[in-house]
Every structure is written in C-alpha cells, then in structure tokens.
Structure 1
Amino acid sequence: MTFFHLLNCAAVTSAPFVITYKCTVLSEYSSFWKCVQAGAFYVITQLLKLLILATFFPASTGDPMMPATTIGGVLNIARATVDLLDLVGLYFAMEQLGGGKGEIKFMVAGTGWAAAEVILGKFIHLWFGARGIEFDWKYMLLCLDSNLILLQHIATATFIWMWARQHLSSRVTSFVSMALLMTSYKPLILEHLKVIVGYNDWMGLIMNGVMTCSVAFSCMYTYVTLTKVANGVSHQK
C-alpha cells in the first residue's frame, strides 16, 4: 500500500512538469538538455547561498527566543535577502541557455530551475518518507507544494525577462521590480503569517497557493499586455 502511495506522490509531483514540457514550446525546440543545464545553474546558486549564509549568518547558539526579538527579525530579513541571488541565477541561466525567443528563455530557465529544486528538495524526501509503513498527508502536501514551485519559478523567470527588456515604461519597470521582491521575500512573509495567525499546514498551502497564483496571474497579464503593445508597434512599422 505504501508503494502505491509513493507512486501516487511521484505522479502528482512529476505530472505538471511533464505536461509543461510536452504542451509548450519546450518540446517543440527540444529543450530538455537546456532545462538540465538550467538545473545546474540552480545547484551552483544554492551552493553560493549556503556559503554566504554559513559565513555571515551562522546558526545562533544563544538565546532560543532570539527569532522573536527585534534583532532576530532583522536577521531573518537579512537571511531572506540572500534569496535575491536566485533572481541573479535565473537571469544568467536565461542569458546563457535560452537563445532565441523570449518565451523559450523564461520557460527553459523556470522549468529547469523548478525541476532541480523539486528533485533536490522534495523528491528525495518523498523517496525515503513516502515508503514508510504509515500513510502521512504531509507527503501529499509536499507534492502539491512542488506544483506551486513550478508555477512560481516560471512566473519569476518571466518577470526577470520583462525587467531586462529595454524601452519599458517606468511604471511597468517599478511593478515588475516589486513583484520580483515579493517573490523573493514570500517564504519569509508566509512564515511570519503562520506565526501570527497560527494556521495549520493545509491552510499554509492554501495561503501559498493564493500568493503564487496572484503573482502568476499578474505576470501573465503583464506579459500579454507587453506582447500586444510590441505587436502593435511592429505592425505600425
């Protein structure tokens, strides 16, 4: 029974990635190995983040109530700021691997980045945990969270691609910059909301889903608007 639970978790986790690859321009341009290379950029970026965190933000061995203090809050914000390196890593991944149309750039970077995070951060945990002798809903939560990770990283990569474009209005640039900052600090926001409100893991997944879908819909709307404007300008020429 636990083996079937493992298969179910693996299907829920991997199906969105397979569908995304097969039903988008990724399969049309045979971008599998580029997605793998984008995953390599993810690994390098995470190693750099770990090095910075271990050097400048070592684990506190003092007062266990430190995270609840003002100093602890500042340290948490500083640690979360290190996640801005993910934006830099995604940018370089798109610049190095996503030659051609902009759609291919952010799809390759976002999908490869998300796949690497799910494999290294979720799938290994599922492999050793979901095969246990007892069924536990926490592994289904991990699977559903993996789906949100895919949506989040594709939206983030799209925002980065839009931010790097020239001839954007200051209003659009400011909106995209704020969206990127929110995606970087989203884990910290969710963590503090959980402490303040005190909701359970399922409610935490719902809150994460609401924030992720909000970012994704705003990203889609901005991308479609910019595409229509660009097509209108090209037709006038």
Structure 2
Amino acid sequence: MTFFHLLNCAAVTCAPFVITYKCTVLSEYSSFWKCVQAGVFYVITQLIKLLILATFFPASTGDPAMSATALGGVLNIARASVDLLDLVGIYLAMEQLGGGKGEIKFMVAGTGWAAAEVILGKFVHLWFGARGIEFDWKYMLLCLDSNLILLQHIVSATFIWMWARQHNMSSRVTSFVSMVLLVTSYKPLILDHLKIIVGYNDWMGLMVNGLMTLSVAFSCMYTYVSLTRVANGVSHHK
C-alpha cells in the first residue's frame, strides 16, 4: 500500500513537469539538456547561498526566542535577502543557455530550475518518507507544493526576462516587475510570518501559498501579453 502511495506522490510531482515539457516550446526545440544545464545553475547558486549563510549568519538566528526580538527580525530579513541570488542565477541561466525567442529562455530556465529544486529538496523526502509503514498526508503536501514551485519559477523567469528588456517597457511597468520580483524572493519569509500571526495549519498554508502564486502568475501573464502586443504593434507599424 505504501508503495502505491509513493507512486501516487511521484505522479503528482512529476506529471506537471512532463506536461509542461511536452505541451510547450520546450519539446518543439528539444530543450531537455538545456533544462538539465539550468538545473546545474541552480545547484551552483545554492552552494554559493549556503556558503554565504554559513559565513555571515550565526546558527543562533534560527532560534525562536531570538527571532522574536528586533535583532532577530533584522537577521531573518537579511537571511531571506540571500534568496535574491536565485534571481541572479536564473538570469545567468537564461543568458547562457537560452537562445532565440524569449519564451524559450524563460521556459528553459524556469522549468530546469524548478526541476532541480524539486529533485534535490523534495524527492529525497518522498523516497524515504512516502515508503514508510504509515500513510501521512504531509507527503501529498510536498507534491502539491512542488507544482507551485514549478509555476513560481517559470513566472519568476518570465519577470526576469521582462526586467532585462527595460528599454521596451515604461518606467511604471519596470517598477511593477521589480516589486513583484522582490515579493517573490521574500515570499517564504512572508508565509512563515503569516502562519505565526494567523496560526493556520499546513493545508491552509498551502492554499495561501497557492493564492499568492496564482496572483503573481496572472499578473505575469497580463504583463507579458501586454508587452507582446505592444511589441507586435510597433513591429507592424514599422
């Protein structure tokens, strides 16, 4: 029974990645190995982040008693700021691996980045936990959270691609894109504090995370479509 539970968890985790690859431009341009290389960028970025955290932040910053103080809050924000390196890593992955159309660049970077995070951060827990003797819903939570990770990283890569094309955007759109990228970088910290303040359970936390991710995704889609229409209109006018 637990083996079938493991298969179900693996299917819920992997199916969105397979569908994303097969039903987008990724399969059309045979971008599998580029996605793998984007995953390598993820690994390198995480190693750099771990080195920075181990060097500049004491282990006591994770102490709940210290987190409740003003100094602890500042340190938590500083620790969360290290996640801004993810934006740099995704940007470098797009510049080094993506070629041609913009949608190939951010799809390759976002999908490869998310796949590497899920494999290294989630799948190990599923492999050793979902095969356990007792059934536990927390592993299904991990699977659903993996789907949100895929959507979030594709959206983040799209916003980074738009941000890199600032010359084609108004200052208002550029400011909006920059603000959203900052919010997505600090989203784990925001969700943790919301959970402490409101006191909801893990399922409600997944719903809140899902609502935030979908909100950012819809804003990304609207911005991308608007910029594409403007670009096509300018090209057609010329």
Give the TM-score normalised by structure 1: 0.99
Q: One-letter code of the match for 1:190?
A: L
How far did 1:43 drift?
0.1
Partner of 1:54: 54
Change in 2 beyond 3 A, CA 1:61/1:209: closer
What is the CA–CA distance in structure 2 between the aligned matches of 1:196 and 1:54, rounded to whole Å?
28
- Whether the 8 Å CA contact 2:110–2:154 is kept in 1: the answer is yes
Residue 136 of structure 1 aligns to a residue whose secondary structure is coil
Report matched runs for 1:76-155 at 5 Å: 76-155=76-155
What is the CA–CA distance in structure 2 between the aligned matches of 1:192 and 1:181, rounded to whole Å?
16
Return 59-68 or 149-158, whichever deviates more. Answer: 59-68
Deviations 1:19-65 (A, max 9, x none): 00000000000000000000000000000000000000120189751
Partner of 1:33: 33
- Whether the 8 Å CA contact 2:106–2:157 is kept in 1: the answer is yes
Matched, 1:4 2:1: no
What is the CA–CA distance in structure 1 between the aligned matches of 2:12 and 2:114, rounded to whole Å?
15
Residue 186 of structure 2 aligns to a residue whose secondary structure is helix
How far did 1:168 drift?
1.3
- Whether the 8 Å CA contact 2:61–2:76 is kept in 1: the answer is no
Identical amino acids, percent of aligned pairs: 89
What is the CA–CA distance in structure 1 between the aligned matches of 2:200 and 2:61, rounded to whole Å?
28
Return 19-28 or 61-70, whichever deviates more. Answer: 61-70
Matched, 1:13 2:13: yes
What is the CA–CA distance in structure 2 between the aligned matches of 1:196 and 1:77, rounded to whole Å?
17
Q: Identify unmatched segments of 5+ residues in structure 2.
A: none
CA RMSD of aligned residues (A): 1.1
Partner of 2:70: 70
Partner of 1:177: 178
Deviations 1:50-98 (A, max 9, x none): 0000000120189751011111100000000000000000000000000
Partner of 1:236: 237
Change in 2 beyond 3 A, CA 1:63/1:45: closer
Q: Identify unmatched segments of 5+ residues in structure 1.
A: none
Q: One-letter code of the match for 2:140?
A: M
Q: One-letter code of the match for 2:152?
A: Q
Change in 2 beyond 3 A, CA 1:127/1:63: closer
Change in 2 beyond 3 A, CA 1:174/1:127: same
Q: How many residues align?
A: 237
What is the CA–CA distance in structure 2 between the aligned matches of 1:62 and 1:109, rounded to whole Å?
31
What is the CA–CA distance in structure 2 between the aligned matches of 1:51 and 1:58, rounded to whole Å?
12
Change in 2 beyond 3 A, CA 1:62/1:178: closer
Residue 59 of structure 2 aligns to a residue whose secondary structure is coil
Change in 2 beyond 3 A, CA 1:126/1:62: closer
